[in-house]
């Protein structure tokens, strides 16, 4: 399942996407993100899933453009994308 976390405003689309079919719950993104954007736990989109999965924390979803600002300024590779060995994380901007 493709899970999109973020928002759209007049300046663009700001979503972090997690491919939950690829995510194995390893928590590498949790450790890598300096802004604590990720959590690993129950899948809010799939209550029947037993395995833990990464989600984007609710507190940062509506300001993700700003929360990720320092990483974006530093340029690729983004710490979260680089840390995920399953290639489950992507950004829309
Ligand atoms: S690093 Fe990738 S595979 Fe590991 S929990 Fe995060 S999204 Fe899932
Ligand atoms: S870009 Fe940086 S702040 Fe944003 S989710 Fe990835 S590691 Fe965290």
pLDDT in tens, 48-84: 999 999 999 999 999 999 999 999 999 889 999 999 9
Span 29-46, average pLDDT? 96
Return the residue whose CA atom lies nearest to atom 6 of ligand 1. Answer: 29
Q: Is the dihedral of CA 47, 42, 62, 86 positive or negative?
A: negative
Span 21-42, average pLDDT? 98
Q: Report the predicted TM-score, pTM, of the whole model to 2 decimal places.
A: 0.96
Return the residue whose CA atom lies nearest to atom 3 of ligand 1. Answer: 23
Instruction: Select the CATH number that applies to the domain covering 2-91 from these four: 1.10.10.10, 2.30.130.10, 3.30.70.20, 3.40.1280.10.
Output: 3.30.70.20
Span 3-13, average pLDDT? 97
* C-alpha 45 – ligand 2 centre gap (Å): 22
Per-domain boundaries in the chain: 2-91
Ligand 1 pocket, residue 27 CB under 6 Å: yes
**Cβ–Cβ < 8 Å for 86, 18:** no
Residue 85: its pLDDT value, please? 98
* C-alpha 10 – ligand 1 centre gap (Å): 30
Band (pLDDT 50/70/90 cuts) for residue 2 is: very high
Ligand 1 pocket, residue 81 CB under 6 Å: no
State the average pLDDT for the chain. Answer: 97
């Amino acid at each position: 399942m493709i899970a999109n976390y973020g928002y759209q405003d007049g300046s663009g689309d700001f979503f972090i996407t997690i491919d939950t079919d690829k995510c194995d719950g390893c928590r590498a993104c949790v450790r890598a993100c300096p802004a604590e954007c990720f959590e690993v736990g129950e899948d809010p989109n799939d209550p029947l899933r037993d395995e833990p999965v990464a989600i984007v924390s609710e507190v940062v979803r509506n300001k993700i453009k700003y929360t990720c600002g320092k990483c974006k300024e530093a340029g690729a590779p983004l710490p979260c994308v680089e840390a995920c060995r399953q290639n489950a994380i992507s950004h829309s901007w």
